[in-house]
Amino acid sequence: DTACSSALSALHSGGHAVRGGECGGAVALAVSLKLSPYATLGAASAGMLSADGRCKTLDGRANGYARSEAVGALMLRQREVGQPVLLGGSAVRQDGRSASLTAPNGSAQRVLLLATLDRAQLLVLEVACVDAHGTGTALGDPTEAGALAAVHGKSRGDGIPLWVGAAKASVGHSEAASGQVGLLKLHRLLEDA
């Protein structure tokens, strides 16, 4: 249980096992169901939820997040010649000290982004799009955008955009399953391209 990164942490472990030859394939399954009202009541009383029920990701009108449900699965296996790489490399890192649950550590995020690029053997310019965590909170989104800008902004130059979006803007925050929802969205976009 790594909170909002739980699905991606499971995916990382499965991908590491497949790439390392520990197994021929792995299934990363993420489920987030809201079967009890207590977490919603707690998030509402803490002022974390959007009053209008919308995640306004990377938007000046951001006022909290909307809780949602999700179920998703990805099958990881050794790729055959000619197949696109869905998970070329991944990294997991503890966020370290931060002010609160909704206050991410920008420095830790920058280190994680750089480690992920290194593991995937990618240059900054080879990354065309990112599905951000983007909960639609006035503190979290600017911190995440700042980390992305620090890693991707300086090396890109003029005219080479980094497309940034977040599945949460369309479907809400599915918490433990949210990372996989974003990855499945990107996978679908790549298939359609």
Check residue 86 and give its pLDDT.
Answer: 61
Check residue 83 and give its pLDDT.
Answer: 65
Q: What is the pTM of this model?
A: 0.87
- The tens place of each residue's pLDDT in the chain, 193 residues long, gives 888 899 999 999 998 898 888 998 999 999 999 999 999 999 999 999 999 999 999 999 999 999 999 999 988 888 776 665 666 788 998 887 777 777 789 999 999 999 999 999 999 988 988 999 999 988 889 999 999 999 998 777 777 889 999 999 999 999 999 999 999 998 888 778 7
Check residue 84 and give its pLDDT.
Answer: 58
d(CA 76, CA 107): 30
